[in-house]
């Protein structure tokens, strides 16, 4: 399940993708109001997305946020990975950081692994330029 934080991150990136060609940075206040994201959450999410290299920020009265990548090259998978990598994991046994000891003989694991690969591939093929508002 996609977490609320991941949903907010997707909304934030969607807003920035819609304004990608703007020469003016998007302010946290504008993004928060238009995309209905609590301001406090937006600031925390922006920090995570900045750390992941997905967006850049500029502080000060004329500051704000820009996408660090072209929306044609930024996938839904990348954003979810940056914010909540476990949020779209089908089962805990899919976590590569804590491998399941039953993976070598569990038929359910094998099927879930195939399904997880398909989910990841699908999310990797959804780019933010495809999600622009009004399309």
Q: Are residues 57 and 13 in the same domain?
A: yes
Contact 25, 79 (CB under 8 A): no
Q: Is residue 133 part of a domain?
A: no
Q: Is residue 121 part of a domain?
A: yes
How large is the average pLDDT for residues 24-44?
A: 95
Using one digit for the tens of pLDDT, what is the confidence trace for 43-68?
Answer: 999 999 999 999 998 887 778 999 99
How many angstroms separate the CA atoms of 56 and 117, rounded? 30
Q: Are residues 104 and 55 in the same domain?
A: no
Q: Are residues 46 and 17 in the same domain?
A: yes
Q: Are residues 96 and 48 in the same domain?
A: no
Residues in a beta bridge with 67:
55
pTM: 0.85
Q: What is the pLDDT of residue 134?
A: 53
Q: Is residue 82 part of a domain?
A: no
The domain tally of the chain equals: 2
**Number of CB atoms found within 10 A of residue 91's CB:** 13
SS3 state of residue 57: strand
Q: Are residues 56 and 19 in the same domain?
A: yes
Q: Which domain holds residue 99?
A: 88-126
Q: Is residue 80 part of a domain?
A: no
Q: Are residues 33 and 58 in the same domain?
A: yes
Confidence of residue 135 (pLDDT cuts 50, 70, 90): very low
Q: Are residues 61 and 108 in the same domain?
A: no
């Amino acid at each position: 399940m996609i977490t609320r934080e991941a949903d907010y991150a997707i909304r934030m990136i969607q807003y920035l993708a819609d304004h990608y060609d703007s020469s003016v940075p998007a302010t946290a206040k504008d993004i928060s109001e238009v995309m209905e994201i609590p301001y406090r959450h937006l600031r925390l999410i922006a920090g995570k997305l900045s750390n992941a290299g997905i967006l850049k920020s500029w502080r000060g009265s004329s500051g704000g946020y820009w996408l660090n990548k072209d929306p044609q090259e930024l996938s839904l998978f990348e954003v979810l990975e940056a914010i909540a990598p476990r949020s779209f994991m089908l089962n805990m046994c899919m976590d590569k950081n804590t491998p399941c000891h039953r993976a070598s003989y569990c038929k359910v694991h094998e099927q879930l692994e195939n399904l997880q690969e398909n989910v990841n591939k699908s999310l990797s093929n959804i780019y933010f330029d495809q999600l622009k508002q009004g399309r």
